[in-house]
Chains A and B, each alone.
Chain A
Amino acid sequence: MIEFDGVSFSYDDRGRSSDGHLVLSGADFVLDEGELTLVVGPTGSGKSTLLRCINGLVPHFSGGTLHGRVVVDGRDTRTHRPRDLADVVGVVLQDPVSSFVTDTVEEELAYGMEALGVDAVAMRRRVEETLDLLGLADVRSRPLRSLSGGQQQRVAIGAVLASGPRILVLDEPTSALDPVAAEDVLASLHRLVHDLGLTVVVAEHRLERVIHHADRILLIDEGRVSPLLDPAEAMVTSPIHPPVIALGRHLGWSPLPLSVRDARRRARDLRATLPDRAPAPPPSAPTGEVVCAVDRLVVRRGGEPVLRGVDLDIHDGDVVAVMGRNGAGKSTLLATLVGQLVPMSGSVRLGPPADSIDPARARPAEIVVRAGMVPQDPATILYADSVAEECRAADRDFHLPTGTARAVLDRIAPGIDDVQHPRELSEGQRLSLALSLILASEPRLVLLDEPTRGLDYQAKRRLVELLRELAAAGHGIVLATHDVELAAEVATRVVVLAEGEVVADGPAAGVLAGSPAFAPQVAKILHPLHLLTVEEVVACTGAAS
């Protein structure tokens, strides 16, 4: 169905990219019909480029030079432009919002079919079917911009699916979704592969969500593409792997279980031996000083109340993970804490009680010394042309001695070149840069909105270490996140929001392990034990042997 024949790609004619290696090389494989192939690799390794090769967006749309041959359903992308392949390949790009062409859900679903000239009656029927397939019937006439992130993602998938392609290509389809919505989307993909025999190619960072759906795996590192691998075999050596694999490798299981179900069967004996040694959930009695007090907070956005009476105290040394489904009010809460939104009623006090301010009324300069926030898209707080200039600007902004921000950056992510443009950095590096700018002024409270979106496991591990260090140094930390594994590793306390209200607030082990939606993989495998991460299991089993 998809044939890559010795494909390599680079952005200039000499066959080398600016930093000396090919964007893509050695791609040589054949994908069969009716298979779900997962593309695995660190950020910036060339996953998106590989996906865009499939329908000819690379090189027809991107420029650059492609060597070798890509043949899709018998059509060579050399002679077929993306629009000529539109009836065979459907591509869902990373950011669904920027790919919307029309205004409402129904029109968006029909757009591709109109361009392909599908008969009006058939089109009407297929739109209805797609609405049902992806659970969008309730929002069919709504404007696309008013939908939640999960709904937008499903519309983007439905929009390419409706025109009936045989191949579906998805770039990070679940990165913006909460665990339940992600599972919904992946389950529909699974159904498409098994019931309709579609060929699906997916790139995804959060392997724990997709690995058990995959039939084949392509590993990709710095542009070098591996041959097609069997998922279990690939995971034995892959540096990028989800917790279930890490657990399996640690315990020496072979073959490696890929899904929670398989791992749970293998772990029967482990569960029987572990209970006595499982540590009691750590006491969460707050010890530090209060750095942020939220009292009966009500915030409206666009006329609708998004937060309805939230109470929350955050102490020094707390790492609070705010979780909840898309649109539950997580980002709104964070934005209100730094004064970007004005509460309708209730109060927010920032800083220790003796010296607290109301962020909605305070000047930005007063807020930044008490609370620093890294927004969902870190690029929005980067303006300069180079890393060095960005660091100098931060020093000036916060009236710090020159070099402070750069020193923080070197500690978080050493080796970022001074002259690089912030836009050229990888996702992880950009986050590190934004984080160090914010941390330079040493705010008592650090807020992070979806910090792991687009981060690979290595970058995530560095982030976890850094957050632990910060918490130990007495900073209060609040994370709004969908990433249950991150919450399990670093959070001391988890707050679950639903419909703008706090529905759960307690120590991470208690809240996460007991929740079917937010439980991390290890907790699911070892339920009813209160163990959340591989590290904790290692500590337990290590102590025994």
Chain B
Amino acid sequence: MALTPHSRLPRLLHPAAWWVWGVGLAVAASRTTNPFLLLLVVAVAAWVVLERREAGTTNALAAFLVVGLVAIGLRVVMVSLLGGGVTGRVVLVRLPEVPLPDWTSGVRIGGPVTLEGLLFAVYQGMQLAAILACLGAVNALASPRRLLRYVPATLYEIGTAVVVALTFAPQLVEDAQRVRMARRLRGHSPRNPAEVGRIAIPVLVGALERSLDLAASMESRGYGRAVHRTARSIRLAGLLTLVGVGGVVVGLYGLLDGTSPLVLGLPTLLLGVTCAAAALLVGARRDPRTHYRRDHWALPEWLVAASGTVPALVMILAGARHWDGVVPRQVPAELPAVPLLLVAAIAVAATAAVLAPVPPLLARSRATARTPSEPSRELVRR
């Protein structure tokens, strides 16, 4: 477990370490609505991606950031139209209100739009956007497919479905681009919004066909073969899996939703994880698969995982103790405080950009960039 020279050589970090780091950062973001802290979270995620994303892999962060921006916009529109959130004093605009019967108390359409209400919506939207940014960063740093290699054969069906789904989305985007380009050949301007409807069917059909091909390929290469199990072990594994997945979902919800009691979150999550692990062990005993070059779990993995866990723990503690600046005051609207301790806690996650080893291809391209006299022979085609 020592910091051997081997562990610092260019290599890919264990995907699980990146996921622990990213989920930790997301948990931290889920605990605060302070816009400055949330911006810091996004900045940390973006910087680590910039520093440690393997060359040539798709950058999922950009797509997730766009979705985050859309989330903020939606939130603002919904709050302006339907009210909700907080009732403020500073009225910015007064939209025409649709009269509703009395029994819909609390719900309204139109009416006054307050500064406080808008800020509340923006903060909430930013929180969601920051969580999405963390997930996007993890996707860019460690492809979910690499993590999937550690899914035991017990979950064969789920594994197939997830691999196909993970391939489906990027392929859909690729196909959509191709078909959109091809529309030009028929004299259509791709900017026309009516185009979206026309290309939807061919794109979906194409992507589905390829997904079938992928499933056929997995099948004919022996995925999920010969997991001979007794009926009893199947039942036991099934029960444990159900309880485990349920526990994980409830526990994560408890952790991410600040309003539910902490008692619901952590213990349920732990119980869930334990059950799920037991289910996997029951199945894995007869798992005939072997692993090619399993990723090492060495010191950098511990450090990266820890650097993501620190902000999560600090923010949970801060939220529980109602520290200043975690949830900024909404009424009256004021500039939120920036508690230095919390900034420092989130900044700890940024150290992953230094602690993690450089991915091999990125290291090589940086090396060639440093010696520009020698042209890169690795022409990336397509």
List residues of A whose CB falls within 8 A of some B CB.
Answer: 55, 57, 60-61, 81-87, 89-91, 93, 95, 98-103, 106-107, 110-120, 123-124, 127, 141-143, 145-148, 159-160, 163, 301-304, 306, 326-327, 335, 338-340, 363-365, 367-368, 372-375, 379-383, 393-394, 397-398, 423, 437-438, 441, 499
Contact = CB atoms under 8 A, between A and B. Distances in A.
Contacts of B145: 101-103
11 contacts: A61-B216, A84-B226, A95-B213, A107-B146, A112-B221, A124-B292, A143-B57, A338-B184, A364-B188, A368-B185, A379-B206
Interface of B: 56-57, 143, 145-146, 149, 163, 171, 178-179, 181-190, 198-199, 201-202, 205-206, 209-210, 213-226, 288-293, 360-361, 378-382
Interface centre among B209, B223, B290 (most CB of A within 10 A): B290
Contacts of A86: 220-222, 225
A484 B23 CA distance: 55
Contact of A101 (B163, B209, B210, B361): B163
B185 A55 contact: no
Contacts of B57: 103, 143
Contacts of B185: 338, 364, 368, 372-375, 381, 438
A539 to B, nearest CB: 37
B210 A98 contact: yes
A437 B220 contact: no
Contacts of B182: 375, 380-381
A110 B293 contact: yes
Given A115-B225, A115-B289, 4 more contacts: A81-B219, A86-B220, A143-B57, A302-B382
Given A124-B293, A338-B184, A383-B201, A141 B360 contact: yes
B220 A304 contact: no
Contacts of B290: 113-114, 117-120, 123
B198 A111 contact: no
Contact of A163 (B171, B198, B222): B222
A148 B382 CA distance: 7
B382 A112 contact: no
A83 B360 contact: no
A368 B219 contact: no
A98 B214 contact: yes
Contact of A383 (B199, B288, B292, B380): B199
Nearest to A123: B292
Name the 4 nearest CB pairs between A and B, nearest first. A86-B222, A110-B292, A99-B217, A83-B225
A145 B188 CA distance: 29
B291 A397 contact: no
A175 B128 CA distance: 47
Nearest to B380: A146
A24 to B, nearest CB: 18
Contacts of A375: 182, 185
Given A120-B292, A123-B290, A379 B202 contact: yes
Contacts of A364: 183-190
A113 to B, nearest CB: 7
Contacts of B223: 83, 101, 115
Contacts of A110: 292-293
A109 to B, nearest CB: 8
A99 B209 CA distance: 11
A391 B337 CA distance: 65
A303 B378 CA distance: 13
Nearest to A338: B185
B213 A302 contact: no
B273 to A, nearest CB: 25
Nearest to B171: A98
A380 B205 CA distance: 11
B381 A111 contact: no
A397 B224 CA distance: 49
B382 A57 contact: no
B224 A83 contact: yes
B184 A111 contact: no
B143 A103 contact: yes
Interface centre among B188, B216, B292 (most CB of A within 10 A): B292
A279 to B, nearest CB: 38
A115 B221 contact: yes
A339 B184 contact: yes
A327 B382 contact: yes
A327 B381 CA distance: 6
Contacts of B219: 57, 60-61, 81-83
Contact of A437 (B186, B224, B291): B186
Given A367-B184, A381-B186, A163 B56 contact: no
B176 to A, nearest CB: 11
Contacts of B213: 93, 95, 98-99
B198 A115 contact: no
Contacts of A114: 149, 289-292
A145 B382 contact: yes
A302 B181 contact: no
Interface centre among A90, A117, A145, A380 (most CB of B within 10 A): A380
Nearest to A447: B185
Contacts of B220: 55, 57, 82-83, 85-86, 89-91
B358 to A, nearest CB: 13
A408 to B, nearest CB: 14
A380 B178 contact: yes
A116 B292 contact: no
Contacts of B382: 145-148, 301-302, 327
A95 B366 CA distance: 34
Contacts of B199: 383
Interface centre among B149, B186, B198, B361 (most CB of A within 10 A): B186
Contacts of A82: 216, 219-220
A119 B289 CA distance: 9
Contacts of A159: 221
A146 B381 contact: yes
B56 A143 contact: yes
B52 to A, nearest CB: 16
A57 B216 contact: yes
Nearest to A341: B181
Contacts of A365: 187, 189
Contact of B202 (A83, A339, A380): A380
Contacts of B291: 114, 120
A103 B198 CA distance: 31
A113 B292 contact: yes
Contacts of B217: 91, 93, 98-101
Nearest to B188: A364
A499 B377 CA distance: 12
A99 B292 contact: no
B167 to A, nearest CB: 8
B186 A394 contact: yes
Given A146-B56, A148-B381, A397-B188, A101 B221 contact: yes
A509 to B, nearest CB: 31
Contacts of A397: 186-188
A372 B381 CA distance: 26
Nearest to B184: A364
A288 to B, nearest CB: 24
A124 B292 CA distance: 7
